[in-house]
């Protein structure tokens, strides 16, 4: 499969937080965190903004568009895809 086809498939994916994990805002950390039975992962601001949109309803294209609009920037697609691939490898999300 070519890279263009891979990217198109990823853009149509509807990622969601993996079963067994919960994303929440943690005031004490002043950050979003992923909670799991053995502990938690503190997320940086960008990761939190991406993951809070991973609800299984929005596709990656919509997530990118929302982020670009919310932060008034362009060309976030590659950064978002790279993070989502990392999040998949870490088993933080499913559906990618």
**Based on the structure, what is the number of domains in the chain?**
1
Q: What is the mean pLDDT of the chain?
A: 91
Beta strand pairing call for 39-42 and 93-94:
unpaired
Looking at residue 7, what is its pLDDT? Answer: 67
Backbone phi and psi for residue 10, each to the nearest 5 degrees, phi listed first: -65, -40
Considering the entire predicted model, what is its pTM?
0.89
Instruction: Tell me which residue range forms the domain holding 77.
Output: 3-94
pLDDT classification of 10: cutoffs 50, 70, 90 = confident
For 50-77, what is each residue's pLDDT tens digit?
A: 999 999 999 999 999 999 999 999 999 9
Cα–Cα distance for residue pair 6/82, rounded to 1 Å: 13
- Residue 13: which residues within 8 A CB-CB, separation 6 or more? 59, 60, 95, 96
Cα–Cα distance for residue pair 76/28, rounded to 1 Å: 29
CATH code of the domain in which 19 resides: 3.90.930.60
């Amino acid at each position: 499969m070519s890279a263009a086809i891979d990217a198109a498939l990823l853009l149509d994916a509807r990622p969601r937080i993996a079963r067994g994990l919960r994303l929440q805002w943690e005031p004490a950390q002043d950050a979003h965190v992923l909670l799991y039975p053995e502990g938690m992962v503190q997320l940086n601001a960008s990761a939190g903004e991406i993951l809070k949109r991973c609800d299984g309803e929005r596709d990656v294209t919509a997530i990118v568009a929302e982020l670009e609009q919310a932060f008034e920037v362009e060309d976030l697609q590659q950064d978002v895809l790279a993070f989502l691939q990392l999040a998949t490898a870490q088993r933080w999300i499913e559906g990618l």
